[in-house]
């Protein structure tokens, strides 16, 4: 059983996963709750599930078509297990992606396990199933904070808005798109003097131009020098995001654990 499985996982049957249907009204209700209470991070995952449609199936199929994807899918490593192993991460080279991830999660007081627990709020537990599509869903969930490290976007409100815009470009999951647009508009309304909309648009464009990150071998990537990895993956510097003072980036509605 994967580290993502909870106590209820044993009760899941071997029946096929049900295709996710689009539920835009449910997503809008969850967005409304999120706008009212930015700490209600469970609403983020409700939005994602309500609008994911067949993005998981399409992503898994694309993974299998990549050069390394067949091996990665066959091995089916649980990234949360590796990303939770601080002893292993601390042994990686100082300038590596893995060490940067460890420093990021330590300084922000977050963890891969914390992201797992947030993802279980208010949604069905198909993601804990022993199934290829469920595994791919866990993989996409678990790389969120690692993508923060790779892209240079922080966990402040502006950084999260940019991060979900980048993620939408990479995954085409409509939930990322909705949250990114809502976050960008709220940030622009609250801080009209700053390039909030342009920064989120730049993040989307950076995501379009970058290599397809879901197809990366993350076990190997963790040991790679961070700057070399960014160059290889064609991840551009988030110049507009970095141009905004840190205290201003923190305004807005997006939860830090989005």
HSE of 149, CA atoms in CB hemisphere, 13 A: 28
Q: Is pLDDT above 70 for 173? A: yes
Q: What's residue 14's pLDDT?
A: 58
- Counting beta carbons within 10 angstroms of the beta carbon of residue 192, is it exposed (0 to 12), middle (13 to 18) or buried (19 or more)? exposed
Q: What's residue 202's pLDDT?
A: 98
Tens digits of per-residue pLDDT, 186-228?
A: 899 989 999 999 999 999 999 999 999 999 999 999 999 999 9
Task: Please tell me the distance from the alpha carbon of residue 12 to that of residue 219, in angstroms, as a whole number.
Answer: 29
**In the chain, % of residues over pLDDT 90:** 58
Cβ contacts of 5 within 8 Å, gap of 6 or more: 128
Q: Is pLDDT above 60 for 13? A: no
DSSP conformation class of 202: H
Q: What's residue 122's pLDDT?
A: 59
Task: Please tell me the distance from the alpha carbon of residue 111 to that of residue 200, in angstroms, as a whole number.
Answer: 25
Which has the minimum average pLDDT: 45-49, 132-136, 172-176?
45-49
Cβ-contact 66, 75 below 8 angstroms: no
Report, as an integer, the average pLDDT of 229-256: 84
Tens digits of per-residue pLDDT, 48-96?
A: 888 887 888 999 999 999 999 999 999 999 999 999 999 999 999 999 9
Cβ-contact 179, 47 below 8 angstroms: yes
* Confidence bin at 119 (pLDDT 50/70/90): confident
What is the pTM for the complete model shown? 0.86
Instruction: Enumerate the domain spans of the chain.
Output: 35-249
End-to-end C-alpha distance for the chain, whole angstroms: 26
* Confidence bin at 38 (pLDDT 50/70/90): low
- Counting beta carbons within 10 angstroms of the beta carbon of residue 137, is it exposed (0 to 12), middle (13 to 18) or buried (19 or more)? buried
CA-based nearest residue to 79, from 155, 172, 3, 192: 3
Task: Please tell me the distance from the alpha carbon of residue 233 to that of residue 186, in angstroms, as a whole number.
Answer: 31
Q: What's residue 17's pLDDT?
A: 62
Instruction: List the structure tokens of 130.
Output: 């022993």
């Amino acid at each position: 059983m994967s580290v993502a499985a909870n106590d209820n996982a044993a009760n899941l049957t071997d029946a096929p996963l049900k295709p996710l249907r689009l539920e835009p009204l449910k997503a809008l209700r969850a967005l409304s709750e999120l706008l009212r209470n930015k700490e209600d991070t469970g609403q983020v995952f409700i939005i994602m599930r309500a609008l994911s449609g067949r993005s998981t199936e399409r992503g898994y199929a694309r993974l299998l078509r990549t050069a390394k994807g067949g091996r990665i899918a066959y091995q089916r490593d649980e990234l949360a297990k590796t990303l939770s192993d601080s002893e292993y991460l601390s042994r990686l080279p100082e300038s590596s992606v893995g060490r940067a991830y460890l420093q990021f999660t330590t300084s922000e007081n977050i963890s891969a396990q914390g992201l797992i627990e947030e993802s279980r709020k208010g949604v069905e537990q198909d993601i804990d199933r022993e199934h290829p599509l469920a595994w791919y869903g866990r993989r996409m969930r678990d790389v969120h904070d690692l993508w923060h490290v790779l892209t240079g976007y922080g966990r402040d409100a502006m950084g999260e808005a940019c991060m979900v815009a980048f993620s939408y470009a990479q995954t085409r999951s409509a939930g990322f798109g909705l949250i990114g647009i809502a976050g960008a508009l709220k940030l622009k309304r609250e801080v009209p003097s700053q390039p909030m909309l342009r920064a989120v648009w730049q993040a989307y464009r950076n995501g379009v131009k970058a290599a397809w990150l879901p197809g990366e071998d993350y076990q190997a990537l963790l040991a790679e020098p961070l700057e070399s990895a960014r160059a290889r993956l064609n991840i551009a510097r988030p110049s507009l995001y970095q141009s905004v003072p840190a205290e201003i980036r923190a305004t807005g509605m997006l939860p830090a654990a989005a």
